[in-house]
Amino acid sequence: MYCTRNITESIHWVGGSDRRLALFENLFPIPRGVAYNSYLILDEKTALIDTVDSSITRQFVENILHTLGGRPLDYLVVNHMEPDHCASIEELMLRFPNLQIVGNAKTFALIGQFYHLPLEGRTVTVKEGDTLPLGRHTLCFTFTPMVHWPEVMMTYERSEKILFSADAFGSFGALGGNLFNDELHFERDWLPDARRYFANIVGKYGPQVQAALKKLSGVDIRLICPLHGPVWRSDLAWFLNKYDLWSRYEPEERAVALFYGSMYGDTENAVNILAGQLAQAGVQDIAVYDVSSTHVSQLIAEIFRCSHLVFAAPTYNNGVYPAMANLLHDMKALNVQNRTVGLVENGSWAPAAGKQMAAMLGELKGMQILEPVVTLKSALDEQSLAALTQLGESLAESLRA
């Protein structure tokens, strides 16, 4: 049975959600599921904006057939050619023999690579700034490459001022009836997953997101319809500001998160003491994470949120404890910048993690490492406790500044 919602009188949400998938991209845990959004415009011509993942094709097709009410589908606009949005193209081509697929040159190259579909005579290739009239509605295409793949474009519907934004402004999380951001408590219930989605999926492409934001800055936008998560129809500036901060790699909050790896509890003990010292100095909302038991995507999201970070890890095989090394590697891959950092190393006979963590962080732009780097030899003693206290004072002072 169909399950749709109206975006406006003539534009309909025909997507769906998957609460069964454990790992998005077979990488990222999504305990709250994920939504695949698709939007159908009814006018003199009918146009669908993107399709959905194969996991919900059956629901998707029911939604489209119901909404069309017996009319043919004239156009399918492919804003993004990643398979979580494209897996149903062939199904639609078979059901609607006159369907024209709208994309750019890169879109069609990727369709060819993924699906080997018979596209002859069934494509409309658009360029930057091209328009497609549907009747009362007009679609305008603007290219936003690498947000998050090279072919990505956004589609702006001129008459109703709606931006179909592809992956941008999306979030992990299945939709539960409430589709619009003002129907749910976004900041409380969705922001952590929106941040985790941005940081891990789009985080590397900050400059490209900045270019897209610049392009959109002069456009009168009433609604933002992303491919994942809620549709934005209020407080657009609030969420645009989050995207601006994240994509400039500026911290969202003046706050501290402490990340530790610990084999026998001694490094963890040092971090707990440091956190307590910070709290005693008046620092609030301190976040502490065990890098071995917290998924790296969650850690990365917190790194995008916080201005101050502490990394504490044992030396392992002359290197950095693997779970911590993995986090630092991911930070580099995702282009993290502009943070103030404290370091704690442990090493029972040849401590080396501190130097190596500093070197890895030194490859990132704008990272300031506070003094002192604290060295534990197995467990805290009076000397290392004094150094830890000094680091706590440096952190608290920097957080106050």
Binding residues (CB under 6 A) for ligand FEO: these are 80, 82, 84-85, 148-149, 167, 227-228
CB nearer to ligand FEO: give 228 or 305: 228
53 within 8 A of 36, measured Cβ to Cβ: yes
Closest residue to bound ligand FEO by CB: 82
Q: Partners of 377 in the beta sheet? A: 379
CB nearer to ligand FEO: give 51 or 267: 51
**Closest separation in Å from C-beta 87 to ligand FEO:** 11
**What are the C-alpha distances in Å from 33 to residues 55, 82, 173, 292, 349?**
12, 18, 5, 23, 46
Gap between the Cα atoms of 224 and 231, Å rounded = 6
CB nearer to ligand FEO: give 82 or 330: 82
**Closest separation in Å from C-beta 85 to ligand FEO:** 6
CB nearer to ligand FEO: give 114 or 289: 114
Longest CA–CA separation in the chain, Å: 79
**Closest separation in Å from C-beta 260 to ligand FEO:** 32
CB nearer to ligand FEO: give 51 or 63: 51
Tokens of 345: 């190393």
**Closest separation in Å from C-beta 173 to ligand FEO:** 13
**Closest separation in Å from C-beta 147 to ligand FEO:** 9
**Closest separation in Å from C-beta 17 to ligand FEO:** 13
Gap between the Cα atoms of 318 and 305, Å rounded = 31
CB nearer to ligand FEO: give 80 or 137: 80
Gap between the Cα atoms of 259 and 268, Å rounded = 9
**Closest separation in Å from C-beta 332 to ligand FEO:** 21
CB nearer to ligand FEO: give 147 or 310: 147
CB nearer to ligand FEO: give 37 or 46: 37
Gap between the Cα atoms of 390 and 384, Å rounded = 10
- Interhelix angle 266-280/382-400, nearest 10 degrees: 40
CB nearer to ligand FEO: give 148 or 339: 148
**Closest separation in Å from C-beta 31 to ligand FEO:** 18
**Closest separation in Å from C-beta 265 to ligand FEO:** 40
**Closest separation in Å from C-beta 75 to ligand FEO:** 21
CB nearer to ligand FEO: give 99 or 202: 202
**Closest separation in Å from C-beta 341 to ligand FEO:** 30
CB nearer to ligand FEO: give 74 or 167: 167
